[in-house]
Structure 1
Amino acid sequence: MLAETVLAGLALASSAIAAPAPNPIEFVKRAPTPGVVIQKCSTPGVLALAYDDGPYQYTSRLVDILDAAGAKATFFWTGTLYGCIYNQANAVKKAFASGHQIASHTWTHPHWASLGEAQIRQEITKLEDAFVNLIGKKPAYVRPPYLETGGQVLPVLRSLGYKVITNDIDTGDWNHYSPQQSEQAFLQAGAGGNGHIPLMHETYDSTVNVLTPWLINWAKQNNLKLVTVAECLGDPDGAYQAGNFEPNGQNSCY
């Protein structure tokens, strides 16, 4: 009886040793969670060009530069910061038609960390209405003005289903950095690891016509694919809110 038990134990151990090792754990990619701040891409081999504060006079030119390079970008747009968004209707539609991601940067670009829930909500929904009128979509991504996420900002954005983006590289163009100074931020950060989400502004000629071509070339040299923020987060189908939205016919900000 003892011998049989020992033999059975040895057979079991031998079977366990001979069994193939389990496959490495495969992590299931999940879409970003609304109301949670995201600073960087979740995948390597990409660079998510992200531009704030438009649409503006350089938007159409920027789209041409990106399209010529086969690059995609994300435009975090406002309603009234650099003039009324409806005055740039052609540029807005052009960027959307070219496959770039259209995202929110609020209606007036306020310091909204000190605002109440109703005011924050209005900053989002007024811009949503404009986007529906212009491209028939409501964005699902937002970059808070001044990167402010305190107070009621995140709870309200969570309730509205918005994925919140900041950055992991600051080009400093808003602080009068030259394109060459901005380039150093990318060189120091490097092209390894998960992709970067930079803070840039399409409202500066130097960012559009000097820094962007340099970034396109830098990405090519480092085998980085230029993608939208949603794509760099493994969320290519989640850039916009689900549903069919009806334009209200408005074509003025006032």
Structure 2
Amino acid sequence: MLFAYAVTALASAAGVWARAVPNPIEVMKRTHVAGSVITKCSKSGVLALAYDDGPYQYTSSLVDTLNTAGVKGTFFFTGTLYGCIYNQRAAVKKAYDNGHQVASHTWTHPHMGSMSAGAIQSEMEKVEQAFVNIFGRKPAYVRPPYLETGGQFLNVMRQMNYTVINDDIDTGDWNNQSPSSSEAMFTRAGAGGQGHIPLMHETYQSTVTTLTNWLINWAKTNNLKIVTVAECLDDAGGMYKQGTFTGNGASSC
């Protein structure tokens, strides 16, 4: 009787312990999300094409270019920077449906480092709701506007379980750098070591056409696989928060 009780107690304690100790994969994921700002891929042999500030008039054609090349990109979308995201609903869903990563670039593209925690959370939740309304998922990745991560930003991202992405190559397209100047940056950086996560903007036609096509060819020449940001971090299954969600019917900003 005493032996049976001891076995039962031990099993019960083991069960409590098992529940108390997080799954190692989940521990790695939470650390990955909250611990630091990520600027490069976690492995070699890859290139993560990442575009900010959309959706915009070039989104659909950019998806077509990537599809034709058989590669996947990452779109860091805003809610209202270049018009209301719902006005580009078809392009946003097209990117998602074709297996590209759709991630957050905040709702209004503000300077997040000077905002309160509540205001930061609201920015993120509005993007989440828009994505849910358009394709039923919530993003798990964000690239902050202006690459600013100060103030309460990282604390809120930790609480909301977001992976924070910056860059290791700034193409300078936002600063009137020509595609040839941007191309030279990749040539100088080289194709060795951990894969690049560049800062690019899909709001510039020269980036969408000239630079993107050059990068596709550059990657092929250097035996690099073009992947999503999540894939380049060995987190292909973590692009979105778990589950699907019901939209609230909103169709305007």
Q: 1:52 maps to which residue?
A: 52
Please tell me the residue identity of whatever aligns with 1:119.
A
Asked if 1:158 corresponds to 2:166, the answer is no
Counterpart Cα distance in 2 of 1:243 and 1:161: 14
Where do 1:114-193 residues align within 5 Å?
114-193=114-193
Q: 1:78 maps to which residue?
A: 78
Tell me by how many angstroms 1:105 deviates. 0.2
Residues 48-102 of structure 1: CA deviation (Å, up to 9, x unaligned): 0000000000000100000000010000000000000000011011111110000
Q: 1:25 maps to which residue?
A: none
Counterpart Cα distance in 2 of 1:45 and 1:109: 32
Please tell me the residue identity of whatever aligns with 1:244.
T
Please tell me the residue identity of whatever aligns with 2:76.
F
Q: 1:101 maps to which residue?
A: 101
1:47 is paired with a residue whose SS is strand
Asked if 1:228 corresponds to 2:212, the answer is no
State which drifts further: 46-55 or 244-253: 244-253
What percent of counterpart residues are identical?
66
Counterpart Cα distance in 2 of 1:81 and 1:125: 16
Mapped contact 1:30–1:234 kept (Cα < 8 A): no
Counterpart Cα distance in 2 of 1:34 and 1:219: 27
Counterpart Cα distance in 1 of 2:166 and 2:216: 21
Mapped contact 1:140–1:241 kept (Cα < 8 A): yes
Gaps of 5+ in 1: 1-27
1:150 is paired with a residue whose SS is coil
Please tell me the residue identity of whatever aligns with 1:103.
A
Give the ranges of 4+ consecutive aligned residues of structure 1 lying more than 4 Å apart after TM superposition. none
Tell me by how many angstroms 1:117 deviates. 0.5
Structure with higher Rg: it is 1
Counterpart Cα distance in 2 of 1:97 and 1:243: 16
1:203 is paired with a residue whose SS is coil
Residues 157-212 of structure 1: CA deviation (Å, up to 9, x unaligned): 10000000000000000000000000011001100011000000000000001000
Mapped contact 1:143–1:165 kept (Cα < 8 A): yes
1:38 is paired with a residue whose SS is coil
Tell me by how many angstroms 1:34 deviates. 1.6
TM-score (norm 1): 0.87
Q: 2:32 maps to which residue?
A: 33
Counterpart Cα distance in 2 of 1:242 and 1:145: 25
Q: 2:11 maps to which residue?
A: none
2:199 is paired with a residue whose SS is strand
Please tell me the residue identity of whatever aligns with 1:72.
K
Counterpart Cα distance in 2 of 1:201 and 1:114: 23
Residues 1-47 of structure 1: CA deviation (Å, up to 9, x unaligned): xxxxxxxxxxxxxxxxxxxxxxxxxxx99446223210000011000
Q: 1:202 maps to which residue?
A: 202
Q: Give the structure with the higher percent helix.
A: 2
The count of aligned residue pairs is 226
Aligned-residue Cα RMSD (Å) equals 1.2
Counterpart Cα distance in 1 of 2:182 and 2:244: 40
Counterpart Cα distance in 1 of 2:181 and 2:243: 43
Counterpart Cα distance in 2 of 1:223 and 1:98: 23
TM-score (norm 2): 0.88
Q: 1:218 maps to which residue?
A: 218
1:41 is paired with a residue whose SS is strand
Counterpart Cα distance in 1 of 2:112 and 2:167: 18
Asked if 1:63 corresponds to 2:63, the answer is yes
